[in-house]
Amino acid sequence: MHPLVNIAVSAARAAGNFIMRHHGRVDQLQIERKAHNDFVTQVDRGAEAEIIRQIHKAYPHHAILGEESGEIAGSEVTWIIDPLDGTTNFLHGIPHFAVSIGIQVRGKLEHGVIYAPCTQDLYIASKGDGALLNNRKIRISTCKDLSQALIGTGVPLREEYLDRYLPMLRNVAAHTAGLRRAGSAALDLAYVAAGRLDGFWEFNLKPWDIAAGVVLVREAGGVVNSLDGSADVLKTGHVLASSIKLQDELVKLLQ
């Protein structure tokens, strides 16, 4: 395992342990609203602080891009962190959330780690080395028929995207085997990488939501592009992930 990934795994597990100590104790948390349907708690902040502590203990000069702490300048290596992807699920006691850590080297995504503390599922990927779930190789779905495909999605919170999204939802629902809106983009992408979902799309995601998942899907043999056709999904945030076989058909439904 790459040394950077070793640290990412240790950091993700430490953050996951911190999160689980507070799981089921929502009544004791201070909850702040960052925007409509966008919440943050001291658990998010504490988990991110734990991740940054682990990273800077090993690599004190590395840069950080965190959901809660923002950007911390550093070297040519940047750690892109979502300490608790699925905060709303966490707040409602739904055991579906994750720690997500992506690593850029000289501006290119190289490594990704996603850890789901409730199931203790650990997803790891490094560019050129494939993707793993709990130390076993994973591959993208082999589904060739869109009518048999299970597709994940996320409902946009901003009205400007909702108007564009609803016709897409109708099209995909009419032409696939089903839709899932689980509430964690990081885990949606991990599920695509593991073949649990056949595809996933969502608007207006942030780099920390998707950085690790993008590496996982690509290393599992899948495709991740922006809904506008660009390959730079970290900039647009409009994500479409699937197998190569389903990508063109999904693009047609989503146009």
User: 10 Å Cβ neighbour count for 139?
Assistant: 15
User: Is 166 known as a binding-site position?
Assistant: no
What's the Cα-to-Cα distance from 72 to each of 77, 139, 189, rounded to whole Å?
11, 34, 26
User: Is 110 known as a binding-site position?
Assistant: no
User: Is 198 known as a binding-site position?
Assistant: no
Say how far apart CA 91 and CA 133 lie, in whole Å: 26
Q: What is the DSSP letter of 181?
A: -
CA nearest neighbour of 140 among 227, 228, 246: 246
Distant-in-sequence, close-in-space partners of 160: CB < 8 Å, separation ≥ 6: none
User: Is 84 known as a binding-site position?
Assistant: yes
Q: Do the beta carbons of residue 16 and residue 131 sit within 8 Å?
A: no
Let me know how long the chain is.
255
User: Is 67 known as a binding-site position?
Assistant: yes
Q: What is the DSSP letter of 183?
A: S
Residue numbers belonging to the annotated binding site: 67, 82, 84-85, 209
Mark the binding-site residues for Mg(2+), compressed into ranges: 67, 82, 84-85, 209
